[in-house]
Amino acid sequence: MQVAIVTHTYDNGTVEMVTEALEFRGADVFRLNTDQYPTSVPLYGHWGTGVASEQILSIDGVDVDFHAMDAIWYRRYRGGRQLPQSLGQYRSAALKETDLTLYGAIAASRAFQLDPVSSVRRCDHKELQTRVAIDSGLLVPPILFTNSAEAARAFIVSADGPVIAKMQSHFAIHQGDQEQVVFTTEVDPQNLDSLERLKYCPMIFQHRVAKRFDIRSIVVGKQVFSARFDPKTIPNTDLDWRMSGVETIEYWEAFELPAAESDALLRLTASMGLNYAAADFVMDTEGNYQFLEINASGEWFWLEESCGLQISDAIAGVLLGELPRV
């Protein structure tokens, strides 16, 4: 069987983990580093009535037909990163065409895809995933999506406790050589005048949950792998453990999500058309499991290395059709 992995040159060790698991099963694996496309990776597609269709990419000098693939793992995308700035005003147009053409080649493939780009992009809509999570039976802390200062103030004032603010996407702001990542923050009730700036950029507000544990659950096909982290082990991780992400690695421990939440999570991912997702929960001080969000491309490498969860093996099994798929 042939499997294509769509990623980029600087991706982490998860690609090697899954590649090793696939090759152990006898699969031929082709890695497409999308940051090298289109400048160093030629692509052509032939179509037409009565014509043998093909979608050929030249990867490290080897022609790979996406139509001949048995499976595609859509892991990461960085297309057009090497397009020169000298293209000037035409660079944005070239980048758009670059994206559309490669996305089109992937979408047109008849191979099993983990996961289709359309499903991955659909999961970006946090309003949608929140609604589906509630419909699936998961407990969700009250949440507000808004660009209205008035609505945000009303939500904050009416909350029975602290409120946190966060963004739809994870991004960084660069000031010179310094990178400032935007993490979850607690709203200062004495500084509500600053909410007027919402008219320039919407935000998400949510009741802050008093937590015992952070939980990350990885869905692969119809399996759920979970681990938990106790924020008391490292200072200043109670609000957002990602602020000290590397430091937390050794403190995560394998954990079994209760059947009710596990089944509801699988209903959620199935409804979103996903065979893979990383879901974040918190266990509150009363022992309830409260859902925060899912990410169709969320990370898991440290959960395998530190907790022994066999996630790469499961991904390989789903890609090759050896394990149940959604």
Q: What CATH number did the domain enclosing 156 receive?
A: 3.30.1490.20
Is 264 part of any domain? Answer: yes
The CA distances from residue 135 to 168, 209, 215, 319, in Å, are 21, 21, 21, 28
Q: What is the pLDDT of residue 14?
A: 96
Clarify whether residues 102 and 74 are in a common domain: yes
Between 153 and 246, the higher pLDDT residue: 153
What is the tens place of the pLDDT at every residue in 191-248?
888 899 999 999 999 999 999 999 999 999 999 999 999 999 998 888 788 777 788 8
Whole-number pLDDT of residue 182: 63
Residue 124 within a domain: no
Same domain, 200 and 232: no
Report percent pLDDT > 90 for the chain.
81
Which letter does DSSP use for residue 139 in this model?
Answer: B
Kindly state whether residues 51 and 107 are assigned to the same domain. Answer: yes
CATH code of 298's domain: 3.30.470.20
Residues 216 and 180 in one domain: no
Residues 240 and 159 in one domain: no
Same domain, 79 and 90: yes
Residue 85 located in a structural domain:
yes
Report the first-to-last Cα separation within the chain, whole angstroms.
20
Out of 78-92, 133-147, 175-189, which region has the weakest mean confidence (pLDDT)?
175-189
Note the pLDDT of residue 127. 96
Residues 197 and 172 in one domain: yes
104 and 162 housed in the same domain: no
Q: Are 187 and 218 within one domain?
A: no
- The CATH number of whichever domain residue 69 belongs to comes to 3.40.50
Q: What is the pLDDT of residues 44-93, one digit of tens each?
A: 998 899 888 888 999 888 899 988 899 999 999 999 999 999 999 999 99
How many structural domains does the chain have? 3
Do 102 and 158 have their domain in common? no
Residue 158 in any domain: the answer is yes
Residue finishing a domain among 172, 207, 242: 207
Tell me how far apart the alpha carbons of residues 126 and 168 are, in angstroms, rounded to a whole number: 7
Q: In whole numbers, what is the pLDDT of the chain averaged over residues?
A: 92
Torsion of CA 105, 106, 111, 113, to 10 degrees: -170
pLDDT at residue 176, rounded to an integer: 56
Q: Above pLDDT 70, what percent of the chain?
A: 96
For residues 138 and 264, is the Cβ–Cβ distance under 8 A?
yes
Together in a domain, 225 and 179? no
Contact in structure between 303 and 257 (CB atoms under 8 Å): no
**Full domain range(s) for residue 103:** 2-114
Specify if 130 maps to a domain. Answer: no
> Is residue 70 in some structural domain?
yes
Q: Does residue 249 or residue 145 have the better pLDDT? A: 145
- Angle (CA) 229-285-183 rounded to 5° is 50
Task: Answer yes or no: do 20 and 92 share one domain.
Answer: yes
pLDDT at 180: 52
Residue 121 lies in a domain: no
- Is 123 inside any structural domain? no
Band (pLDDT 50/70/90 cuts) for residue 295 is: very high
In this prediction, residue 134 carries a pLDDT of 98
Q: By the 8 A CB rule, do 136 and 267 touch?
A: yes
Single out the residue in 64, 95, 114 at which a domain terminates.
Answer: 114
User: Of 97, 114, 131, at which residue does a domain stop?
Assistant: 114
Q: Please tell me the predicted confidence (pLDDT) of residue 59.
A: 87
